[in-house]
Chain A
């Protein structure tokens, strides 16, 4: 049995939320570069150049790349051989967020649904916990902005809709979102499971570094096909017209009920922030 104190979790979480918001991943910057090669629209090219510049300015000046520093989402893989001591895990994650958002001058973007009163410390957080074999503790820190989350959709399709139906809904979702979710986007697709699982799969798919192939060759092929269709819509960078509407499509899939074909589409803006911690 490995013992981990929540005190040893709070500080890394504090640093990770700051880092995620200041330092855009190299995978995304690479995708901007390769987007520049494919983009035909002069305005689209200009936008991609400005986004590369924006990432550089944020990293150098130590400020957030985007003012929407997100609601804090965590994917946690907790080894069954780990005992967490101190406080409970979720409150440790919240304490890390509380400290990081304050010290890093990150915007607190969480409020009451109706009164819209800000909670003041960017909590509560959204935690997805998986128990896994072993004595490891892995935490993916994923601040998620509101603009792209608002353009995400979930469909409970009839099984007869099949792959054609899925393709249609994904492309339609991206097209209807247009400029709103800050394209070029990354499109997370969750297929199967049930209502809530499909949404979690869609979001989890975004943890994979951009540009890395899906380990499942069948899904990799589906991703390429979807990306090709999405980039025919003409939405382009910032929705102002162009070829590079999305930088990538990521799919996670699992079996589902014989009556269902759940499909969730989680749109991620170009400020795709994810930091992986191993504690």
Chain B
């Protein structure tokens, strides 16, 4: 089995620039949740020169809209949502120093380029394994946009959240490499 690299947030460029597409990682510390509706609002604030409700530099954003927490739990199911919906917004956040994104699915070329330029990485968690992922989340609180319900920005305290590096700071793409390895020639 491959080595698992442990990441502790907030991150610096040197924490991630040696990671390569395909590396298994676990993430611990604070991560922020945001989906497309929250991203849109963050960028609107940036356009207006306003202060953002969460820090961006050195941070990790987890693309998730959790299900509500039943009594006695900190969160419901909390697996990743599809990342391409955040593609229009991600390059500007990377430019501001965002170091990590956790989601599932392919990213646009502009996002991959921005990860190379500004030194950030994109990690995939297992889509649809929301019950399992919730076990790595130790605390959750809404910090912005409560009106968005499941799409509000939450601050999560995570412990060894498992993920795999899909896009690294060199522009490698695990989806492309992984699929190539198993494609049968006729297709």
Contact = CB atoms under 8 A, between A and B. Distances in A.
Contact of A118 (B1, B135, B148, B182): B148
Contact of A58 (B73, B77, B175, B184): B77
A118 B130 contact: no
A210 interface: no
Interface string A33-55: 00000001111000100110111
A47 B105 contact: no
B105 A63 contact: no
A221 interface: no
Nearest to A241: B178
Contacts of A178: 105-106, 175, 179
A40 B178 CA distance: 12
A54 B187 contact: no
B128 interface: yes
B101 interface: no
Contact of B129 (A50, A107, A118): A50
A269 B175 CA distance: 18
Interface in A221-235: 229, 232-235
Contact of B128 (A51, A234, A239): A51
A264 interface: no
Nearest to B187: A232
Given A47-B126, A63-B76, A118-B148, A236 B66 contact: no
Nearest to A145: B128
Nearest to A240: B178
A238 B131 contact: no
A123 to B, nearest CB: 14
Contacts of B149: 108, 118, 120
A234 B186 CA distance: 11
A67 B184 CA distance: 34
B134 A236 contact: no
Contact of B104 (A109, A120, A179): A179
Contacts of B127: 147, 179, 182, 238, 269
Contact residues of A: prevailing secondary structure = loop
A51 B150 contact: no
A51 B127 CA distance: 9
B184 A238 contact: no
B130 A116 contact: no
Contacts of B175: 178-179, 239-241
A239 B106 CA distance: 9
Contacts of B105: 147, 178-180, 239
Given A147-B82, A241-B181, A105 B70 contact: yes
Interface in A246-279: 269-271
B124 A234 contact: no
A66 interface: yes
B37 interface: yes
Interface of B: 1, 37, 64-70, 73, 76-79, 81-82, 84, 104-106, 124, 126-132, 134-135, 148-151, 164, 174-175, 177-184, 186-187
- Closest 7 A/B residue pairs (Cβ): A241-B178, A234-B183, A234-B182, A232-B184, A182-B127, A58-B131, A180-B105
Given A51-B129, A179-B127, A269-B127, 19 more contacts: A58-B131, A65-B131, A66-B77, A67-B64, A67-B65, A105-B69, A106-B68, A182-B127, A234-B178, A234-B180, A234-B182, A234-B184, A236-B178, A240-B124, A241-B177, A241-B178, A241-B180, A241-B181, A269-B128
Interface of A: 40-43, 47, 50-51, 53-55, 57-58, 61-69, 105-109, 116, 118, 120, 146-147, 150, 171, 175, 178-182, 229, 232-236, 238-243, 269-271
27 contacts: A54-B130, A64-B77, A66-B79, A66-B128, A67-B64, A67-B65, A68-B65, A105-B68, A105-B76, A116-B37, A147-B81, A147-B127, A179-B104, A179-B127, A179-B175, A180-B104, A180-B106, A182-B127, A232-B184, A236-B182, A238-B127, A240-B179, A241-B175, A241-B179, A241-B181, A242-B178, A242-B182
